[in-house]
């Protein structure tokens, strides 16, 4: 059986939409608290910014914006893992692995499917 290659574009868009929804559900509340003294505010703001840029990058012909946004979304969970290590790893590891893996996918593939 051959892979369903024409579904790769749909899969990439579903990943983009899922990531934006995931960021909204997990980081929008932190962003709206607008606590400039908290590092969580800046991480939430970065997630929102780069998540939207990843979505916008899908509409652009060149892959640069998608790759840059994917790199940022890949690095942010690593920063959170380092910051929270080892206190919070068991409870919220999934919150770090989902954006990390999707960000790495778009960093390595860009808009090319």
Per the model's pLDDT, the better-predicted residue between 6 and 70 turns out to be: 70
- Angle of helix 64-84 versus helix 89-109 axis, rounded to 10: 160
Residue percentage of the chain with pLDDT more than 70: 93
Per-domain boundaries in the chain? 11-109
Of 49, 47, 69, 71, the C-alpha closest to 60 is 69
pLDDT at position 106 over 90: no
Which stretch of 42-46, 73-77, 84-88, 98-102 has the lowest confidence by average pLDDT?
84-88
Lowest-pLDDT choice from 20-24, 32-36, 43-47: 32-36
pLDDT of residue 47: 92
Question: Can the peptide bond before residue 79 be classed as cis, meaning omega within 30 degrees of 0?
Answer: no
Q: Does 91 have pLDDT greater than 70?
A: no
């Amino acid at each position: 059986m051959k892979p369903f290659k024409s579904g790769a574009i749909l899969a990439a868009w579903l990943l983009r939409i899922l990531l934006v929804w995931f960021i909204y559900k997990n980081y929008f509340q932190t962003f709206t608290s607008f606590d400039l003294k908290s590092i969580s505010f800046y991480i939430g703001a970065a997630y929102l910014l780069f998540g939207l840029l990843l979505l916008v990058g899908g509409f652009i012909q060149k892959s640069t914006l998608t790759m840059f946004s994917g790199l940022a979304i890949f690095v942010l969970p690593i920063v959170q893992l380092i910051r929270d290590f080892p206190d919070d790893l068991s409870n919220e590891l999934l919150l770090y692995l989902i954006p990390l893996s999707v960000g790495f996918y778009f960093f390595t593939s860009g808009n090319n499917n």
